[in-house]
A and B are shown apart, each in its own frame.
Chain A
Amino acid sequence: MKKKYSIFSIAKNALKGHKDWPKMWRSPEPREFYDVIIIGGGGHGLGTAYYLAKEHGLKNIAVIEKGWLGGGNTGRNTTIIRSNYLWDDSAHLYEHSLKLWENLSTELNYNVMFSQRGVMNLAHNEHDIKEIKRRVSANNLNGIDSLWLSKEEIQKKVPIMNTDNLRYPVLGASYQPRGGTARHDAVAWGFAMRADEMGVDVIQNCEAHQIKTKNGKIEGVETSKGFIRANKVGVVASGHTGVLAETAGIRLPLQSKPLQALVSEPIKPIIDTVVMSSAVHAYVSQSDKGELVIGAGTDGYNSFTQRGGFDIIEETVRAMVELYPVFGKMKMLRQWGGIVDICPDASPIISKCDIEGLFFNCGWGTGGFKATPGSANVFAHTIAKNEAHQINSAFNLDRFASGKLVDEHGAAAVAH
């Protein structure tokens, strides 16, 4: 029975004190065998299972997750969504995702709170202006909404911004009106619930220990709940993807680093768009609760500690206070880190590999959240058909031998 959410069900449950909401998904024990096992119960992994079941008719699927759903980078990012990437290949991938975002709440009948409040990328010097204007033009050629804002137009949109009296003055910005934010947990929960309804086993507290292969073919996954056989395995474990790949003898071009974010005390609405600056390294949006959601940078060294260095926070807070002097006396409530897997060209890998039946969706680095539905959609296609979808064909592993990289360091926003 499909769980429906409506204004009536909310009213009904409100009268009962919200005690009778049904469980959103089952908590099954793993079976002996699955057609497909997805390792990683974040948005990308759960979405992959959802699209495998919905669009490719596969039913015998499991998603295994070491902790709880969306407890990794899905619950740790700054929820920014945009598709203003430079190269055609990336533009198509992120735009595919943005189009899915626009209909996701309806499709899942679950409010992912997708808010198209616009995303601004600031230019602080002559080179930024050239680079950003070039990207705006490239976006327009790919049919992506993107425009150049003058300093005066920025001031009109974000009156609290200090554009002149700072070390790197604000000279202009790109602006994508269809960009915005979404509720990150809701994406994982929505996909999990609808996948579960189609028979996908979502198994939490089940840690993947080893990917087992035999004669160049996948056998299954050794987990904390025993060995599970599978025809196909998709690894979507963000920062830990490289470590898992090693267990199957595969070396991936990934480096894992902590990426930090922080959240302020809640205040009244003050900023109604998303403002990003990669030059001074601060980006900010305001959540519906009123907290400022602030993205910081990555540490300059490999690490799996979900914490990050204090110097990185210092740098971001410094830039924040310069750009928005009005925030100078605010208190920060929380700080955290997530482990991101960074690819040499700042583009993801959505690809099969030398081992038959083993697939990777990784390398999203500092900007994977925006791609959640699109990445899941094309990864499901790749797993089901054993070949890449047209949209992700450039994001293969072979590019690190051929040299046909998709260099998105400019558009990736967080310099790595």
Chain B
Amino acid sequence: MLIIDCPYCGPRDQSEFSNGGEAHVKRPDGSAEIGDREWGEYVFIRANPKGIFYERWVHSHGCRKWFNCVRDTSTDEILKIYKIDEERPKLDSFKNNVKTPSGEPNLGSGNFTVKK
């Protein structure tokens, strides 16, 4: 279970929040002209990285405000929380814990208890 630091209410339990998926997804311009494939990608495909992930949360059982978050999906560590109108933090300002596609970080994955 995560503790999420709502930028408006402070730290609260994750069960108060709902996840809104990938952040910074832009609706393609000229939707009348673009092909089915490009439109399908916009509708159905979202980033799904193992590692640094930019995502949206909403404080559903609190202030009901949306905000953005950078989280490491390999450890669930929350790296940065920023308001919806703030600039997207640069990717290289975060450390990548995952060396290979299926690699595990040294600490923080569900499997760390079996590691020395």
Partners in one complex: yes
In the complex, the chain A residue whose C-beta lies closest to that of B46 is A255
The residue that B49 contacts in the complex, of A243, A253, A311, with Cβ under 8 A, is: A243
Q: B33 to chain A: closest CB distance in Å? A: 16
CB distance from B66 to the nearest CB of A (A): 14
A210–B108 alpha-carbon span in the complex (Å): 24
A residues near B (Cβ < 8 Å) are 66, 207-210, 224, 237, 240, 242-244, 246-247, 251-256, 258, 300-311, 336-337, 344, 400-403
What is the chain A residue whose CB lies nearest that of B69? A301
Residues of B within 8 A of A255 (CB): 21, 46, 48
Query: Which residues of B does A touch, CB under 8 Å?
Result: 1-2, 14-15, 18-19, 21, 35-37, 39-41, 43-46, 48-50, 53, 55, 71, 73-76, 100-103, 108-111
Cα A336 to Cα B35 with chains together (Å): 43
How far, in angstroms, from A313 to B37 measured CA to CA in the complex? 39
- B39 CB, min distance to chain A CBs, angstroms: 8
What residues of chain A lie closer than 8 Å to B73, measured between beta carbons?
256, 302-305
Known contacts A252-B45, A255-B46, A300-B18; is-contact A208 B55 (Cβ 8 Å):
no
Inter-subunit contact A344/B74 (CB<8 Å): no
Contact partner of B44 (CB less than 8 A), chosen from A210, A337, A400, is: A400
Contacting pair B76 A244 (CB below 8 A) = no
Cβ contact within 8 Å between A243 and B48: yes
Of B15, B40, B41, B53, which is within 8 A of A302 by CB?
B53
A243 to B100 Cα, complex, angstroms: 10
A120 CB to closest chain B CB, in angstroms?
29
Distance to closest chain A CB from B82 (angstroms): 17
A251 B45 Cβ-Cβ under 8 A: yes
Evaluate contact between B40 and A305: CB separation under 8 angstroms.
no
Residues of A with C-beta under 8 A to B76 = 303, 305
> Is there an interface contact between A310 and B1, defined as CB atoms closer than 8 Å?
yes
Q: Which residue of chain B is the closest to A247 with respect to CB atoms?
A: B101
Q: Which residues of B contact A209 (CB under 8 A)?
A: 100-101
- A240-B101 CB under 8 A given contacts A306-B110, A309-B1: yes
Would you give 25 A-B contacts (Cβ < 8 Å), ordered by A? A66-B102, A207-B100, A208-B101, A240-B50, A243-B49, A243-B102, A247-B101, A251-B41, A251-B45, A252-B45, A253-B44, A254-B48, A255-B21, A255-B46, A258-B110, A300-B18, A301-B71, A304-B74, A304-B109, A305-B109, A306-B111, A309-B1, A309-B14, A311-B14, A400-B43
Residues of the B chain whose Cβ atoms lie less than 8 Å from the Cβ of A305: 73-76, 108-110
In the assembled complex, which residues on chain B have CB atoms less than 8 Å from the CB atom of A310? Answer: 1
* Residue from B45, B49, B50, B102 whose CB has the most chain A CB atoms within 10 Å: B102
Q: Are B1 and A311 in contact (CB under 8 A)?
A: yes
Nearest Cβ on chain B to A243's Cβ, whole angstroms: 4
Contact in complex: B19, A309 (CB < 8 Å): no
**CA–CA, A367 and B107, complex, Å:** 29
Q: In the complex, are the beta carbons of A309 and B110 less than 8 A apart?
A: no
Which of B14, B21, B37, B102 makes the CB contact (< 8 A) with A208? B102
Q: Is the CB of A244 within 8 A of B1?
A: no
In order of increasing CB-CB distance, the 6 nearest A-B pairs are A307-B110, A306-B110, A301-B19, A401-B40, A253-B44, A401-B37
| Chain B CB within 10 Å, residue with most, of A244, A302, A310, A402 | A302
Known: A400-B41, A401-B36. 18 other contacts (CB 8 A): A66-B102, A207-B100, A207-B103, A243-B48, A244-B101, A255-B21, A301-B71, A302-B19, A304-B74, A305-B76, A306-B110, A308-B110, A310-B1, A311-B14, A337-B110, A400-B43, A402-B40, A403-B36
From A247, A254, A309, give the contact of B2 (CB < 8 A): A309
User: What residues of B have a CB within 8 angstroms of the CB of A244 in the complex?
Assistant: 101-102
Q: Which residue of A lies closest to B39 (CB)?
A: A401
**CB of A303 to closest CB in B, whole Å:** 5
Query: Which B residues are CB-close (under 8 A) to A253?
Result: 44-46
Which residues of chain A are within 8 angstroms of B40 by Cβ–Cβ distance?
Answer: 400-403
